[in-house]
């Protein structure tokens, strides 16, 4: 199966990338993949990286394709930020690796997922490499949009831009059935409930806990009938995000910490004691990264909940303002709730609540305490007296 089969619902993008692979002498050395969450921008970048290394342009079966897609190819470096940002130290190490000649493959490829998380200093370090790239190095950056807050203009202007769109729901459902063996009815529901977000659709299809978490979030708008209900809902949202963060990090932190302790000789005797004492700083750095990762996981969990809430209010807005038009809903399985919201708050009320959700997302990005930001949100979402 070709590596391009991983890129769902993007025929124009696949054609553009295939054409670039077929003309290596005219290769662009910096690419910027943009698209909304779930559009598959990082998947497209990895497929492109595999095709660049493959003698047959991405057949999906050769050693080069398999190792690139598995993340083990020696000449493809992938940066997936676990914490809140990509710092300048990490960027400089990336630049150092990018400057090497390929050891096995045809290119030295650097894939940066969530390049919008690069700090200003990190972006400047990467910019210098993009301005004067080695002849066999290709940078593949992924970001949500071309907005200067996501990608500095200086970097954007030096990249060839590949724009992806949200794949059709039918295409996502088809992939879940063919590739993951999901029941067709569950696949169709998951694809619709995720709004075409491939990763989330797969998560909803596989994990009943994820389905229950989504239901709990979408039950909130019609429950906000009092101040106490608003504060309780905020507690539930923040608590659920913390539980997900704790559950995910518990599986990672312990193993990482033990591995680092073993590498620096913690518990050793004799000469190893001195090495262990010198490695105290390494443990502190690890703890800092783990804390940053936990914060990011919690924020991402909250953000998914906020996006779901905004989607339900958008459905209420559509139903109130569509005047009989048949328009697609973000949450088709919750149409009755959207209709009830439309009846109680109308189009203007739905717009105000969407603005409140967006303001909460902004507050969280600006490091406002989640409890404070979410309590302010749920109070703003409170339903008017019947």
Q: Does residue 234 sit in the same domain as residue 335?
A: yes
* pLDDT (tens digit per residue) in 216-238: 999 999 999 999 999 999 999 99
The mean predicted confidence, pLDDT, of the chain is 87
347 lies in some domain: yes
User: Which residue, among 193, 197, 207, has the nearest Cα to 172 in the 3D structure?
Assistant: 197
213 lies in some domain: no
Ramachandran angles phi, psi of 163, nearest 5°: -95, 125
> Per-residue DSSP letters for 152-166?
-HHHHTTSEEEE--P
Residue 112 to residue 131: CA distance in whole angstroms: 17
Q: Does residue 86 sit in the same domain as residue 158?
A: yes
193 lies in some domain: yes
221 lies in some domain: no
> Per-residue DSSP letters for 187-219?
HHHHHHHTTT-HHHHHHHHH-HHHHHHHHHHHT
Q: Does residue 37 sit in the same domain as residue 52?
A: yes
Q: Does residue 247 sit in the same domain as residue 142?
A: no
**Distance from CA of residue 46 to its chain's centroid?**
15
Q: Does residue 257 sit in the same domain as residue 357?
A: yes
Q: Which residues are 79's β-sheet partners?
A: 112
Q: Does residue 115 sit in the same domain as residue 202?
A: no
Among 119-123, 196-200, 201-205, 370-374, name the one with the lowest average pLDDT.
196-200
Decide: residue 185, CB within 10 A, 0-12 exposed, 13-18 middle, 19+ buried: exposed
82 lies in some domain: yes
Q: Does residue 301 sit in the same domain as residue 346?
A: yes
378 pLDDT higher than 80: yes
Please check whether residue 70 is in contact with residue 99, taking contact to mean a CB–CB distance below 8 angstroms: no
Q: Does residue 38 sit in the same domain as residue 144?
A: yes
292 lies in some domain: yes
pLDDT at 350: 96
Residue 303 to residue 297: CA distance in whole angstroms: 10
Residue 381 to residue 213: CA distance in whole angstroms: 19
Q: Does residue 285 sit in the same domain as residue 306?
A: yes
User: Which residue, among 35, 64, 71, has the nearest Cα to 50 in the 3D structure?
Assistant: 64
Ramachandran angles phi, psi of 145, nearest 5°: -155, 180
3-class secondary structure, 111: strand
pLDDT at 21: 92
pLDDT at 270: 53
Residue 250: pLDDT band (50, 70, 90) is confident
Return the DSSP state at 139. Answer: E
176 lies in some domain: yes
150 lies in some domain: yes
Q: Does residue 16 sit in the same domain as residue 138?
A: yes
Residue 84 to residue 212: CA distance in whole angstroms: 27
Residue span of the structural domain in which 294 resides: 227-264+281-381
Q: How many structural domains are present in the chain?
A: 3
**Which strands sit side by side in the sheet containing 76-79, from one edge to the other?**
76-79, 108-112, 137-143, 30-34, 160-163
Residue 365: pLDDT band (50, 70, 90) is confident
Residue 26: pLDDT band (50, 70, 90) is confident
Q: Does residue 61 sit in the same domain as residue 186?
A: no
328 pLDDT higher than 90: no
Q: Which of 19-28, 290-299, 323-332, 353-362 has the highest mean pLDDT?
A: 353-362
CATH number, domain with residue 113: 3.40.50.300
* pLDDT (tens digit per residue) in 119-177: 999 999 999 889 888 888 999 999 999 999 899 999 999 999 999 998 988 999 998 99
Please check whether residue 21 is in contact with residue 150, taking contact to mean a CB–CB distance below 8 angstroms: no
Residue 163 to residue 48: CA distance in whole angstroms: 14
Q: Does residue 114 sit in the same domain as residue 237?
A: no
């Amino acid at each position: 199966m070709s590596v391009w089969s991983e890129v769902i619902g993007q025929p124009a993008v696949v054609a553009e990338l295939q054409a670039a692979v077929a003309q290596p002498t005219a290769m662009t050395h910096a690419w910027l993949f943009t698209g909304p969450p779930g559009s598959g921008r990082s998947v497209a970048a990895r497929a492109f990286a595999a095709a660049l290394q493959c003698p047959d342009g991405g057949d999906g079966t050769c050693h080069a394709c398999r190792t690139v897609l598995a993340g083990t190819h020696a000449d493809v470096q992938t940066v997936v930020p676990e914490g809140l940002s990509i710092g300048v130290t990490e960027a400089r190490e990336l630049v150092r690796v990018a400057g090497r000649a390929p050891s096995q493959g045809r290119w030295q490829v650097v894939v940066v997922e969530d390049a919008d998380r690069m700090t200003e200093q990190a972006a400047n370090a990467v910019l210098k490499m993009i301005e004067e790239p080695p002849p066999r190095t290709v940078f593949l950056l992924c970001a949500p949009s071309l907005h200067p807050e996501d990608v500095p203009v200086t970097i954007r202007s030096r990249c060839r831009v590949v724009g992806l769109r949200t794949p059709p729901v039918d295409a996502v459902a088809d992939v879940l059935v063919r590739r993951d063996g999901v029941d067709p009815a569950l696949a169709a529901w998951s694809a619709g409930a995720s709004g075409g977000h491939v990763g989330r659709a797969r998560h909803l299809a596989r994990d009943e806990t994820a389905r229950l978490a989504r239901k709990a979030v979408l039950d909130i708008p019609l429950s906000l009938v009092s101040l106490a209900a608003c504060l309780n809902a905020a507690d539930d949202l923040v608590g659920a995000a913390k539980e997900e963060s704790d559950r995910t990090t518990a599986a990672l932190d312990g193993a990482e910490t033990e591995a680092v302790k073993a590498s620096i000789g913690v518990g050793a005797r004799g000469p190893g004691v001195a090495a262990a004492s010198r490695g105290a700083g390494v443990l502190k750095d690890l703890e800092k990264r783990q804390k940053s990762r936990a914060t990011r996981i919690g924020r991402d969990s909250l953000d998914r909940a906020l996006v779901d809430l905004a989607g339900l209010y958008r459905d209420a807005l559509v139903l109130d303002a569509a005047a009989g038009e048949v328009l697609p809903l973000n949450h088709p399985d919750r149409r009755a709730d959207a209709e009830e919201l439309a009846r109680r708050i109308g189009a203007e009320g739905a717009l105000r609540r969407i603005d409140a959700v967006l303001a909460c997302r902004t507050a969280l990005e600006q490091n406002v305490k989640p409890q404070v930001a979410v309590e302010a949100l749920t109070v703003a979402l409170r339903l008017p007296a019947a």
